[in-house]
Amino acid sequence: MIAPTANWALFALESDLTYVWEKATIEAKGIIIILTIFSIFAWSIMASKAMQMRRAKKLNRFFHQEYHAQKAVMDIYERRVQVEGCPLFSVYQEGCQELVGRQKMIPATAPPGRLSLKAMEHVKRALERSVAQESLKLESGLILLAIAVSGAPFLGLLGTVWGVMSTFSAVGIKGSADLTTMAPGVAAALVTTVAGLMVAIPSMFGYNWLVHNLRVLTVELDNYAQELISRMEIECLKDDERE
């Protein structure tokens, strides 16, 4: 009896949705179509950003282990390694490129490879800029989820209010207010609110989860940039300018 009961419930649900869709106004159908497009975009963004952040975490972990296994700060850079999609490596590469560029500007009379405190400040700013750029890359696309979370319920409410208004207008024109006249229009109007909530609720959970992971990755980037500049200062700063 379980399978027939489940099939009957599914059939009843499909029948209800078909009936409500047929009774919905053109405006309500348009809003439902817009919300469906919102939902497709929202789920696509949540899936792509989740995979991006998962890959970034995995690569960050591997790179961090490899970085700490090197004797000198420039060892990985000198091997010309490329790690696509790893935020920590991007920060590291940007810092090393700036460090090499500053070392090339050292006068011939100065100790080779030793930078002044002013030159090291430029390296630090390059690292900070790279951290900001990587954070923006990870954050890209989240604004669409935020729009879905905040905008979808209001679109649904607009469809409901519009549908109820149309229903009462039809009742006024007909001159009688019975359940048979009002129920189909009210049900069709309320379905837009349901559609709006079905878009907003998953988007809200997905957005909050992604923002949490983004903050974790951003803190890891900041901490690594501080660790990297400290190691560069130890290895490359002039002896008389160290604290």
Model confidence over 68-93: pLDDT tens digits? 888 888 888 888 888 888 999 999 99
Residue 127 has a pLDDT of 92
Contacts of 161 (CB under 8 A, 6+ apart): 189
Q: Average of pLDDT values for 156-177?
A: 76
- Residue 153's CB is within 10 A of a number of other CB atoms, namely 19
Per DSSP, helices labelled H in the chain are 2-23, 26-68, 75-78, 87-104, 117-139, 142-174, 179-236
The phi, psi pair for 105, rounded to 5°, reads -90, 0
- In eight-state DSSP terms, residue 24 is S
- pLDDT tens-digit profile of 37-74? 989 999 999 999 999 999 999 999 999 998 888 888 88
User: Residue 126, exposed/middle/buried by CB under 10 A (0-12, 13-18, 19+)?
Assistant: buried
Q: Are 93 and 83 in contact (CB under 8 A)?
A: no
**Rounded Cα–Cα distance for residues 125 and 98 (Å):** 10
Specify whether the CB–CB gap between 166 and 187 falls below 8 A: no
Q: What is the pLDDT of residue 2?
A: 45
- DSSP class of residue 110? S
- Summary mean pLDDT of the chain: 82
